[in-house]
């Protein structure tokens, strides 16, 4: 009996302390792994947000009152994708510029989660534009007074070949002076942008240009433009973004027009300025109200040109 | 030592070991939690600092950019193109429409102070009747917070001796940004 | 067996202790370890918390940026003075060249006197300088065709090695060249 009892000391001779240590240790390890994974994701998101915000901040020097083209270079430590898009809701006058970024991490492109929004910026780019280095340049949009600066983001790795460009466009391209913009001896993988309707070359984008106005034909969609600033906007973005941005610009033009109308009233009272421009400002305001798509730009352009001439001849009573 | 004492000690040795293990594990967990909190605090503090710096840098550049934006700038209304020049008439009209611009520039406050010439010592808010000679403060977007400012020329067309004259004063535009989340 | 137990227990001992004392000590070893470990944790926690408190406490000094000095100069140049010539009130940039020519305003005042008075007023309103102020001093100098046209406008002291100045502002009118230098010491 004693022998039997002696041999059956216990089924498992594992000390309680060891069991407790294993359970507690496993729990701690699991907790640590989960926390590390979550922190990694937070870090990636934080970096995306930081990059998008930084890009937005870097754009500020591009926006000034001077007409000349301005450019900056953005260099990231990692390969980056920049997504630009536009949002305009029914009660939202100025709409929003949306920037998202994604950086190549462990050979993968995480889906951009964070959206950084700006009401006072107008950006145009391929979506996404991908590179480590980006060229960014801007041109002022005047209609007829300055409304804002249009910003174009271009990947340094993508080449653009401008064929049969008109003289004024060629001058602008020379002024911009980017290494990936070509007018001759274009690399084979370039995106061809053709300015004449009849050309035997393969054209990715066609531009129908006549005295500063026309339309850009891209992926079967027409984007009507007035002036070089909008032309570049059509070339470097897609139809949906282009129409959205033009709508935002027109809305801002309307508010500015109202400000100038009020300024004109005040100046007329104080300085006894003539009121001839007032009528044209009111008509312009009505047409801006009716704006729908970029096809309406040509009618607005006529009024805009008239306003520009009237203002110029206003002398000491110039409004802008 | 008696066998009874030895046995009672032996009986309790397992309990002592469990206690030791338990306290050790608790201690290690607390230590890891503290280190984790420290690291997270550092990271959050860095993020806050980056966000704050980003906003501060934005505010500096924005103060200058706002002075040159179409709603403020003189453009060519006062002769040649001017930088750092604000059209006072336009700004007073902008005040009337400021509700639409509340979040436009991404800052919580904008104000302009007329520095020179002014004989006014106390703060007097400008309105359509008293600007610019009898006031020295134009609040575009009211707010509290840190101030970043830049000097600007404040220009207006005035009637002097039956002649329209461009008159420019010295002022400062202040941007108020959030600063801390 | 008793002897074996004693020998075993005395293995790590340098000095002789009684068996009773040894058993007492042994039974308290775990408690000593726990207390020691607890003390270590407490000390580490205090150090970490102190470090965190220091890290979080961001105390940024107020600094004058170059852009502010540059903006001051650009804005001052656009200021409209009381000096009228040919029916036009001159701004500071035009007045600088008239001062270079020692011209007189229509109200017979010397252009250089108007220029100096205006700049003195503007700088004193815009920058408060003094030993107890953040800005310790400033210096405003204007040179036209390599000649100082007015006595430099100076306020405060220049002992400080910290300063901000504008990038050299150059103006040209006809064949004359003006250079404006403005430095703030803090």
pLDDT tens figures, C11-47? 545 455 566 665 555 556 667 767 777 777 777 777 7
Q: What is the pLDDT of residue C12?
A: 47
Q: What is the pLDDT of residue C168?
A: 73
Q: What is the phi-psi region of residue A30: left when phi exceeds 0, alpha when psi lies from -120 to 50, beta otherwise?
A: alpha
Choose between B24 and A142: higher pLDDT.
Answer: A142
| Chains contacting C (3 or more CB pairs within 8 Å) | B
Note whether A259 contacts B: Cβ–Cβ < 8 A: yes
CB contact at 8 A, A290 and A296: yes
What pTM value is reported for the model? Answer: 0.77
Choose between C138 and A44: higher pLDDT.
Answer: C138
- CB contact under 8 Å between A53 and B51, yes or no, is yes
Report the relative pairing of strands A160-163 and A191-194 from DSSP bridges.
parallel
d(CA B149, CA B126): 19
* Nearest-by-CA chain B residue for A262: B93
Nearest to C27 by CA among B19, B26, A15, A18: B19
Provide the pLDDT confidence category of residue B57 given band limits of 50, 70 and 90.
low
Q: What is the pLDDT of residue B8?
A: 58
Provide the pLDDT confidence category of residue A83 given band limits of 50, 70 and 90.
very high
Cα–Cα distances in angstroms (integers) from residue C138 to residues A133, A183, A204, B113, in the given order: 42, 52, 59, 22
For the stretch B136-153, what's the b/e string if a residue is b when 16 or more beta carbons lie within 10 angstroms of its beta carbon? bbbbbbeeebbebbbbbb
**Helix ranges, C57-110 (H):** 66-77, 92-100
Which tokens in the block code for residue C72?
């001051």
Q: What is the pLDDT of residue C62?
A: 47
- Kindly list the residues from chain A whose CB atom is less than 8 angstroms away from the CB atom of residue B108: none
What pLDDT, in 10s, does the model give residues A259-273? 999 999 999 988 888
Q: What is the pLDDT of residue A315?
A: 86
- CB contact under 8 Å between C51 and B168, yes or no, is no
Query: To the nearest whole percent, how much of chain A has pLDDT over 90?
Result: 57
**End-to-end Cα separation, chain C, in angstroms:** 86
What pLDDT, in 10s, does the model give residues A123-140? 999 989 999 999 999 999
Q: What is the phi-psi region of residue C178: left when phi exceeds 0, alpha when psi lies from -120 to 50, beta otherwise?
A: beta
Cα–Cα distances in angstroms (integers) from residue B44 to residues A42, A94, B49, in the given order: 11, 33, 8
d(CA B111, CA B138): 6
Q: What is the pLDDT of residue A264?
A: 94
Which tokens in the block code for residue A43?
């870090």
Choose between B39 and B130: higher pLDDT.
Answer: B130
What pLDDT, in 10s, does the model give residues A64-73? 544 456 788 8
Q: What is the pLDDT of residue C59?
A: 44
DSSP three-state, residue C92 = helix
- pLDDT at residue A35 above 80? no
Name the residue with tokens 């001896």: A185
Choose between A134 and A44: higher pLDDT.
Answer: A134
Best B5, B64, B80, B170 residue to mutate vs chain C (most C CBs within 10 Å):
B170
Nearest to A84 by CA among A45, A117, A132, A47: A117
Across A61-75, C50-64, C129-143, least confident range = C50-64
What pLDDT, in 10s, does the model give residues A277-311? 999 999 999 999 999 999 999 999 999 999 999 99
Q: What is the pLDDT of residue C25?
A: 54
Query: To the nearest whole percent, how much of chain B has pLDDT over 90?
Result: 35
Q: Give Cα B124 distance to the centre of its chain.
A: 24
Choose between B88 and C65: higher pLDDT.
Answer: B88
Q: Give Cα A182 distance to the centre of its chain.
A: 23
Query: To the nearest whole percent, how much of chain B has pLDDT over 70?
Result: 78
Q: What is the pLDDT of residue B25?
A: 73
Instruction: Determine the average pLDDT of the residues in A114-130.
Output: 90
Nearest to C94 by CA among B79, A136, A289, A180: B79
pLDDT, chain A, mean: 86
Tell me which range, A37-41, B65-69, C51-55, is most confidently predicted by mean pLDDT: B65-69
Provide the pLDDT confidence category of residue B146 given band limits of 50, 70 and 90.
low
Q: What is the pLDDT of residue C58?
A: 47
B→C contacts (Cβ < 8 Å), by residue, are 1, 5, 9, 12, 16-17, 19-20, 23-24, 27, 30-31, 34-35, 38, 41-42, 45, 49, 60, 64, 82-85, 115-117, 149-153, 155, 160, 163, 165-172
- pLDDT at residue B180 above 50? no
Provide the pLDDT confidence category of residue C104 given band limits of 50, 70 and 90.
very high
> Which of B51, B75, B158 is nearest residue A320 as measured by Cβ atoms?
B75
- Kindly list the residues from chain B whose CB atom is less than 8 angstroms away from the CB atom of residue A43: 43
d(CA B75, CA A66): 9
Instruction: Determine the average pLDDT of the residues in C165-186.
Output: 86
- CB contact under 8 Å between B75 and A65, yes or no, is yes
pLDDT, chain B, mean: 81
Instruction: Determine the average pLDDT of the residues in C132-147.
Output: 90
- pLDDT at residue C93 above 90? yes
pLDDT, chain C, mean: 80
Backbone angles phi, psi at A144, to 5 degrees: -85, -15
- CB contact under 8 Å between A20 and B43, yes or no, is no
Q: What is the pLDDT of residue C173?
A: 87
**Helix ranges, A68-178 (H):** 167-176
């Amino acid at each position: 009996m004693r022998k039997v009892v002696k041999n059956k000391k216990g089924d498992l001779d594992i000390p309680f302390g060891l069991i407790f240590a294993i359970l507690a240790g496993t729990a701690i390890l699991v907790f640590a792994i989960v926390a590390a994974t979550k922190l990694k994701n937070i870090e990636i998101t934080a970096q995306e947000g930081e990059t998008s915000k930084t890009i937005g901040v870097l754009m500020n020097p591009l926006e000034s009152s001077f007409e000349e083209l301005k450019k900056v270079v953005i260099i990231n430590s990692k390969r980056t994708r920049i997504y630009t898009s536009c949002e305009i809701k029914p009660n939202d006058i100025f709409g929003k510029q949306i920037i998202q970024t994604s950086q190549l991490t462990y050979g993968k492109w995480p889906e951009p989660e964070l959206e950084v929004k700006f009401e006072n910026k107008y950006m145009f780019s391929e979506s996404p534009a991908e590179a480590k280095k980006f060229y960014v340049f801007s041109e002022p949009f005047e209609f007829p007074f300055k409304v804002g600066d249009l910003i174009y983001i271009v990947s340094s790795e993508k080449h653009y070949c401008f064929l049969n460009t008109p003289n004024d466009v060629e001058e602008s391209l020379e002024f911009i002076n980017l290494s990936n913009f070509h007018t001759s001896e274009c690399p084979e993988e370039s995106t061809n942008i053709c300015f004449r309707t009849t050309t035997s070359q393969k054209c990715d984008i066609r531009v129908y240009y006549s005295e500063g106005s026309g339309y850009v034909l891209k992926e079967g969609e027409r984007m009507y433009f007035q002036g070089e600033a909008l032309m570049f906007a059509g070339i470097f973005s897609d139809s949906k973004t282009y129409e959205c941005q033009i709508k935002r610009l027109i809305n801002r033009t309307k508010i500015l027009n109202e400000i100038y109308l009020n300024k004109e009233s005040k100046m007329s009272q104080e300085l006894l300025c003539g009121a001839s421009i007032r009528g044209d400002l009111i008509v312009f305001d009505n047409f801006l109200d009716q704006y729908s798509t970029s096809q309406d730009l040509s009618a607005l352009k006529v009024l805009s040109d008239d306003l520009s001439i009237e203002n110029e001849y206003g002398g000491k009573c110039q409004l802008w | 030592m008696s066998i009874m004492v030895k046995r009672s000690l032996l009986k309790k040795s397992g309990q002592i070991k469990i206690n030791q293990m338990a306290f050790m594990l608790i201690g290690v967990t607390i230590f890891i939690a503290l280190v984790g909190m420290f690291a997270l605090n550092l990271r959050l503090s860095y993020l806050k600092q980056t966000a704050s710096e980003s906003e501060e840098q934005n505010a500096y550049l924005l103060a200058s950019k706002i002075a040159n934006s179409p709603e403020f700038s003189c453009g060519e209304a006062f002769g040649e193109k001017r930088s750092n020049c604000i059209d006072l008439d336009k700004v007073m009209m902008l005040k009337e429409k400021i509700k639409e611009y509340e979040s436009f520039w991404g800052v919580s406050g904008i104000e302009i102070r007329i520095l020179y010439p002014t004989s006014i010592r106390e703060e007097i808010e400008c309105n359509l009747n008293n600007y610019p000679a009898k006031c020295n403060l134009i609040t575009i977007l009211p707010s509290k917070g840190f101030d970043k400012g830049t000097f600007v020329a404040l220009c207006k067309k005035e009637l002097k001796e039956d002649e329209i004259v461009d008159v420019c004063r010295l002022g400062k535009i202040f941007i108020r940004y959030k600063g801390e989340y | 067996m008793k002897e074996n137990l004693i020998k075993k227990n005395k293995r790590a001992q340098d000095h002789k202790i009684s068996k009773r004392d040894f058993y007492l000590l042994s039974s308290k070893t775990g408690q000593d370890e726990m207390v020691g470990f607890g003390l270590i944790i407490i000390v580490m926690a205090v150090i970490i918390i102190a470090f965190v408190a220091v890290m979080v406490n961001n105390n940024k000094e107020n600094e004058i940026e170059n852009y502010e000095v540059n903006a001051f100069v650009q804005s001052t140049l656009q200021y409209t003075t009381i000096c009228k010539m040919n029916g036009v009130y001159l701004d500071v940039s035009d007045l600088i060249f008239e001062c270079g020519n020692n011209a007189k305003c229509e109200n017979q005042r010397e252009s250089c006197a108007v220029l100096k008075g205006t700049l003195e007023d503007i700088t004193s309103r815009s920058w408060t300088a003094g030993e107890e102020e953040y800005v310790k001093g400033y210096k405003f100098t204007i040179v036209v065709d390599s000649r100082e046209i007015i006595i430099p406008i100076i306020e405060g002291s220049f002992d400080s090695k910290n300063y901000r100045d504008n990038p050299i502002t150059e103006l040209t009118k006809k064949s004359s060249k003006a250079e404006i230098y403005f430095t703030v010491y803090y």
